[in-house]
């Protein structure tokens, strides 16, 4: 499974990238706004730092507007992936961009039927939002299972990018289902290091070592 970091915070991305955990980055207008950065500058800095895909989202709602914005975003760096919403206009833009050789991430997916449309339009990634489905009492992870099954049935090359990840078990469950990518907020990725027995075991080892009076150096 690949890990994309879901943030526009360059410092957070750099720290995780130094650990070798970053295969790509996803941003959106809300994350850019939160960073307080100029969008083009932030995307360029992230693209220079990360070798993998960096999703930059259009804000137009019509296909022509999306394509115009996509042209500007694609000019920022070769590893920019254009992010479009799963609307009729978004799928139209996805088809045109994919035919032109662009990498496209179709976002705001909430059903398997939507995911089929994105794959047919040539999307490189489909982004089902599991956390937001959980928020309204639906099972977000069941959607991941459905999409993985359907894509596997027809060998669609579109990668399942699990989005709106809220906790480590979303990542674990997605990996068990065979999802290709999880886009994870930095805080959730850091939670994956933690287990109380790890902390307890390390404390015991260090206490026993101190009693020996020895030093490795």
DSSP lists the bridge partners of residue 26 as 6, 55
Q: At what angle do helices 140-154 and 168-177 cross, to 10 degrees?
A: 20
pLDDT-derived band at 40, boundaries 50, 70, 90: very high
Cα 217 to Cα 54, 214, distances in angstroms: 43, 9
Is the pTM higher than 0.85? The answer reads yes
**Average pLDDT of 137-143?**
98
Contact 94, 117 (CB under 8 A): no
Q: Which residues are catalytic?
A: 83
Nearest alpha carbon to residue 69 among 108, 43, 30, 33: 43
**Sequence-distant (≥ 6) Cβ neighbours of residue 164 within 8 angstroms:** 129, 130, 131, 132, 133, 140
Percent of the chain scoring above 70 in pLDDT: 100
DSSP for 13-35, please give it: HHHHHHTT--SEEE--HHHHHHH
Contact 163, 183 (CB under 8 A): yes
Give residue 206's pLDDT.
Answer: 97
> Over the stretch 80-107, which tens digit does the pLDDT of each residue have?
999 999 999 999 999 999 999 999 999 9
Give me the domains of the chain, ranges plus CATH numbers: 2-212 (3.20.20.70)
> Over the stretch 170-191, which tens digit does the pLDDT of each residue have?
999 999 999 999 999 999 999 9
**Average pLDDT of 58-71?**
98
Give residue 98's pLDDT.
Answer: 98
Mean pLDDT (the chain) is: 97
């Amino acid at each position: 499974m690949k890990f994309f970091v879901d943030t526009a915070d360059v410092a957070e991305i750099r720290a995780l990238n130094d650990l070798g955990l970053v295969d790509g980055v996803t941003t959106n207008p809300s994350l850019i706004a939160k960073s307080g950065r100029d969008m083009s500058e932030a995307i360029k800095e992230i693209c220079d730092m990360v070798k993998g895909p960096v999703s930059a989202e259009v804000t137009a709602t019509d296909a022509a507007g999306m394509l115009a914005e996509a042209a500007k975003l694609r000019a920022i760096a070769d590893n920019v992936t254009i992010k479009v919403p799963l609307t009729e206009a978004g799928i139209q833009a996805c088809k045109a961009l994919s035919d032109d050789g662009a990498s496209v991430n179709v976002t705001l997916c909430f059903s398997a039927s939507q995911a089929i449309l994105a794959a047919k339009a040539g999307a490189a990634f489909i982004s089902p939002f599991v956390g937001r489905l959980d928020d309204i009492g639906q099972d977000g992870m069941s959607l991941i299972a459905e999409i993985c099954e359907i894509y596997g049935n027809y060998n669609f090359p579109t990668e399942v990018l699990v989005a709106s990840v809220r906790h480590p078990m979303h990542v674990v469950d997605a990996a068990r289902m065979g999802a290709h990518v999880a886009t994870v907020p930095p805080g959730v990725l850091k939670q994956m290091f933690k287990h109380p027995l790890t902390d307890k075991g390390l404390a015991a080892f260090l206490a026993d070592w101190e009693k020996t009076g020895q030093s490795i150096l």
